[in-house]
Amino acid sequence: MYQYHNVPERIGYIQKLFMKAGALVANSDSWIHIIPTLEEELPEYRSIAYEGASFEIAMKDLVSGQRLRQWNEFKNASQLHSFHVDIGLGWALAKTQLSPHSFAESTNDLSGSMILDGVGYYHALYKGRSTLKDKAVPPSIQEESLRLFDQGVGRRLWYVAKGNEQEVIELLHNFPVSRHGALFRGIGIACGYVGGCEEHQLTYLKEISEGNLEQLQFGITLAAISRIISDTATPDIDVACRIICNKTLNELRVSVMPTSSNFLYLSDSNTNRDWFSQLKSKLLKAES
């Protein structure tokens, strides 16, 4: 089991693991050679290692003009970590300043969502002054994709605040109200995936989300789905589901997995909006 307990320590570990996996790719002549090392990582955050590797593999492809040949092969071999592999591609597109839309539109809605999320997180991390302070949106982000970009920005807010729920709300409230919903969704993803929160912290976060509770629930749900797919469920995500989403993780698992295969059937709709609507209708149970 993972050795750290509080949120700041967990965030520190995640950040180091991401960099470690990226360096592994940079020093290898083939992604195939790094898979055994990625699999040696502790299960709780193994997907982060795949995300870091995905970023560097995509970078190699984009810089060399291979149009993601190696990255697509890596993704096909990393289905258990598909959420994070797609986010890694978003990082690479942001770093190379390529428009993410042609890549997002060429795949299913779930993957496209995660790619744009990765772009948002990258900009909030490396272009923090413009993204977090000035609230600027890069020209490459189309209006209809802003909420997915902001999902990534919201995840970054949780990391900046190191899981302090009051600080993250203060950061969020500096943004226009129209962007709060997607930011709350990103906060929920980060909160649910990183773990380490006490029950009273989760209860407080739920209370102060107010009109954005459904989006916060949605984020926790996405974090839970990621853990279900990768078979890395933890007591922390179960607690977060119970307190914020009014569901146990097992109840959520039944909703997400109607068959013995996986959750990706939800990505078959024609638009991101349809996909999000399907997920909300199936998984979220807001307080009455």
Which of 5-9, 136-140, 262-266, 272-276 has the lowest average pLDDT?
262-266
Handedness of CA 90, 49, 71, 277 (dihedral sign): negative
What is the pLDDT confidence band of residue 182, given thresholds at 50, 70 and 90? Answer: very high
What is the pLDDT confidence band of residue 23, given thresholds at 50, 70 and 90? Answer: very high
Whether residue 114 is predicted with pLDDT greater than 80 in this model: the reply is: yes
206 neighbors 215 (Cβ within 8 angstroms)? no
Q: What angle do CA 172, 276, 49 make, to 5 degrees?
A: 70
What is the pLDDT confidence band of residue 51, given thresholds at 50, 70 and 90? Answer: very high
Averaged over 16-37, what is the pLDDT? 95
Inter-helix orientation angle 165-172/199-209, to 10°? 20
Q: Give the burial string for 222-261 (b: 16+ CB within 10 Å, else e).
A: bbbbbbbbbebbbebbbbbbbbbbebebeebbebbeeeee
Averaged over 242-251, what is the pLDDT? 92
The CA distance from 8 to 15, in Å, is 11
| Residues recorded for the chain | 288
Spans of all domains in the chain: 7-272
165 neighbors 194 (Cβ within 8 angstroms)? no
Q: Say whether pTM exceeds 0.85.
A: yes
